[in-house]
């Protein structure tokens, strides 16, 4: 498979986990920084001068690091803020320039269907907020942002976001599509490659004013 390696036999994870993927995630991290003004997050602990005691980055694979840390430091107590930053996993347009007939729209819908068939379900922005409130977090705040699919906006900041998001998505298209479409839809490699030609055309078309919805949601553990 060109440009990506699947270093796992698991059928539950449908994306590559090689060095190329890791580098793309670094780029995506920088997209988040550009989106929120070069801050690492929007919760109060990220404010200038904030005093931060403990930080947990829940990027711990199967969770072994977190489990071992809890075993070694049983006196540690959870607290503070939780912040979730998510790419909505869909592509939208506010002015109708992205239609259901565009290959980009079809790709997005087919990808969502594939993930659902393979057991991966998505959670909507408002659902995340509701879940956080339901489990007891207070002062839950949600903010929405947009990553243009290419440099179509006139605003300088969003032009830059569109440039980098286009690069990020272009590099991810084949790896996002190949395993999921072949496993869920039965597509051949040749069918995927041919379909992605039109998807890339839409992705790079400045007359298609599309974007990825991005969200940041944070809340505070209540005082006990």
Q: Which whole number is the average pLDDT over 26-33?
A: 76
pLDDT at 1: 32
214 inside domain: yes
Which pLDDT score, from 0 to 100, does residue 82 have? 85
> What is the tens place of the pLDDT at every residue in 202-213?
999 999 999 999
Please count the structural domains in the chain.
Answer: 1
Per-residue pLDDT of 144-159, as tens digits, reads 999 999 999 999 999 9
- Entry pTM: 0.74
116 assigned to some structural domain:
yes
Tell me: pLDDT of 3 over 50. no
Give the tens place of pLDDT for each residue, 4-27: 333 334 445 445 555 555 666 677
| 78 domain-assigned | no
Higher-pLDDT residue of 3, 124: 124
70 part of a folded domain: no
Q: Which domain holds residue 184?
A: 19-36+83-220
In a domain, 73, yes or no: no
> Is residue 172 assigned to a domain?
yes
Does residue 53 belong to any structural domain of this protein?
no
pLDDT reported for residue 79: 62
- Residue 83 CB neighbour total at 10 angstroms: 17
User: What's the pLDDT tens digit per position in 57-103?
Assistant: 665 444 444 455 456 546 555 567 888 888 877 899 999 999 999 99
**Structural domain contains residue 47:** no
């Amino acid at each position: 498979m060109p440009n990506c390696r699947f270093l796992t036999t698991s059928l539950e994870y449908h994306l590559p986990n090689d060095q190329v993927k890791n580098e793309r995630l670094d780029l995506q991290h920088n997209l988040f920084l550009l989106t929120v003004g070069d801050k690492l997050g929007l919760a109060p602990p990220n404010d200038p001068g904030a005093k931060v005691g403990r930080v947990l980055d829940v990027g711990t694979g199967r969770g072994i690091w977190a489990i071992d840390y809890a075993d070694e430091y049983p006196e540690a107590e959870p607290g503070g803020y939780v912040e979730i930053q998510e790419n909505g996993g869909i592509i939208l347009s506010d002015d109708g320039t992205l239609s259901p007939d565009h290959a980009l729209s079809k790709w997005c819908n087919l990808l969502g269907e594939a993930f659902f068939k393979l057991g991966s379900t998505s959670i909507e922005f408002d659902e995340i907020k509701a879940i956080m409130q339901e489990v007891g977090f207070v002062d839950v705040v949600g903010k929405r942002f947009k990553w243009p699919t290419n440099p179509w906006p006139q605003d300088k900041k969003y032009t830059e976001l569109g440039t980098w998001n286009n690069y990020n998505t272009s590099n991810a298209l084949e790896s996002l599509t190949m395993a999921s479409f072949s496993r869920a839809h039965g597509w051949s490699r040749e069918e995927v490659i041919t379909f992605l030609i039109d998807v890339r055309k839409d992705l790079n078309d400045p007359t298609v004013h599309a974007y990825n919805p991005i969200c940041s949601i944070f809340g505070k553990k209540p005082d006990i």
